[in-house]
């Protein structure tokens, strides 16, 4: 059965790492829904967070093949219940759309915030799950959304040894 899985991959910081990670998925014809990368709490160790829909069997095999990549330190797979995750979304609208009080109500209702206001446009920010940022988009669209962008998922796992303890084992 297909489900959404979040894969966390910890790697050395070497050129081409993103490619080395993603080709493992490509080869199995798996489509990545989102991918983010940043340095982890350990200096020099990068953390990739990859979200995809597939079967447990496939994702388990992918994780083992990720761990075969020389510069991959460790890879984990998580079900939705095992992680706390978040995305960030930004919405650009005309400043004049604020003159109608309805947009203010939408922003309040969604606990979104205004990052910047320019004479012509403004940028609204909302963090949350995809469904939440998507709902805000749909609610703002009647008033004209000029641009919309959503980040990939970042996720912290609930039950996990600290990365440092894995690094010590290695």
Partner 1 sequence: MNSTKTTGAEAVMKSLVAEGVDTIFGYPGGAIMPIYDALYDYVSTVNHVLVRHEQGAIHAAQGYARTSKKTGVVFATSGPGATNLITGLADALIDSTPLVCITGQVASHLLGTDAFQETDVVGISMPITKWNCQVTKAEDIPAAIAKAFYIAQSGRPGPVLIDITKDAQFEEMDFQYEKCTHIRSYRGRPRINKAHLEEAASLINNAQKPFLLIGQGIMLSNAEKELVEFVEKSGIPVASTLLGLGAFPNEHPQYVGFLGMHGDYAPNIKTNECDVLIAIGMRFDDRVTGDVSRYATQAKVVHIDIDAAELNKIIPADVGVHADAKEALTLLLDLVQEKQHTAWLQEFKDAKIVEEETLAENAKELHSDELKMDEVIKMLSEVTNGEAVVVTDVGQHQMMTARYYQYNKTKSNVTSGGLGTMGFALPAAIGAKIGVPDKPVVAIIGDGGFQMTLQELGTILQSDVDLKIIILNNRFLGMVRQWQQMFFEKRYSFTNMVSPDFVALAKSYSIEATKVEARADLKESLLEMLNHKGAYLLEVMVAKEENVFPMIPTGASVSEVRLN
Which residues, 21 to 60, sit near partner 1 by CB under 8 A? 23, 27, 60
Site string for partner 1, 2-21 (x = CB under 8 A): ---------xx-xxx--xx-
User: DSSP readout, the chain?
Assistant: --EEEEEEEEEE--TTHHHHHHHHHHHTTPPEEEEEEEE-SSTTEEEEEEEEEE-HHHHHHHHHHHHHSTTEEEEEEEEGGGEEEEEEEEEEEEGGGGGSHHHHHHHHHTT-EEEEE-SSEEEEEEEE-HHHHHHHHHHHGGG-EEEEEEPPPEEEESS---HHHHHHH-
By CB under 8 A, tell whether 67 contacts partner 1.
yes
Which residues, 109 to 168, sit near partner 1 by CB under 8 A? 167
Nearer to partner 1 by Cβ, of 20 and 92: the residue is 20
By CB under 8 A, tell whether 92 contacts partner 1.
no
Size of the site for partner 1 (CB under 8 A): 21
Interface positions with partner 1 (CB under 8 A): 11-12, 14-16, 19-20, 23, 27, 60-61, 64-65, 67-68, 70-73, 167, 170
């Amino acid at each position: 059965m297909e489900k959404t899985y979040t894969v966390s991959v910890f790697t050395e910081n070497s050129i081409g790492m993103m490619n080395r990670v993603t080709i493992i998925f490509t080869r199995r014809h798996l489509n990545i829904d989102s991918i983010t990368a940043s340095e982890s709490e350990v200096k020099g160790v990068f953390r990739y967070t990859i979200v995809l829909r597939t079967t447990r069997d496939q994702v388990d095999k992918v994780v083992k093949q990720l761990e075969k990549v020389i510069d991959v330190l460790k890879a984990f797979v998580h079900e939705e219940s095992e992680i706390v995750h978040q995305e960030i979304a930004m919405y650009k609208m005309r400043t004049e759309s604020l003159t109608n009080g309805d947009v203010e109500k939408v922003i309040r209702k969604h606990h979104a915030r205004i990052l910047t206001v320019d004479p012509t446009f403004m940028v609204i920010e909302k963090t949350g799950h995809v469904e939440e940022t998507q709902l805000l988009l749909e609610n703002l669209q009647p008033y004209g959304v000029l641009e919309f962008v959503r980040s990939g998922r970042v996720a912290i796992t609930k039950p996990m040894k600290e990365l440092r303890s894995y690094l010590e084992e290695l």
